[in-house]
Amino acid sequence: MQTAANAASWGSIVVGFLQGSLGIIGNLFAFMLLPFFLFYLLKDQPAMAKNFYRQTPAPWKPDVEFAISTFITVFATDTEAELWRARSWASPWPSGCSPAGSSWVTRWAPSCCWGSSRS
């Protein structure tokens, strides 16, 4: 321990302290700025969406609308799956299944939890 303390120079200690303290200050400013940025986005989102679709070239509109609708659908489906997975970690049922009323659970719970051959 003594040799490790002797091997460290004052410059490296000061630089490490400055990096740590400036990192904390930077994070604080970022967290203070975040609510204002989110308010701006939420307040102006309808206008930004109209402007985006208005500026999209006509030949690209079907592709852009398809890409955005696909992204939203996949994002929503994936988010729902992640919420079900997170919920299933706390479930007392085998394999994380539960008899809740979800279509996924209704379709898969009997086969994975109770050994039924229904799919």
pLDDT in tens, 19-60: 999 999 999 998 999 888 888 888 888 888 889 889 999 999
The span from the CA of 116 to the CA of 112, in Å, is 8
* Residues 71, 79 contacting (CB under 8 angstroms): no
* Residues 97, 108 contacting (CB under 8 angstroms): yes
Tokens encoding 42: 């939420």
Q: 3-state DSSP helix/strand/coil percent for the chain, to nearest 5?
A: 80, 0, 20
Expressed in angstroms, the distance from the first to the final Cα of the chain is 63
Prediction pTM value: 0.40
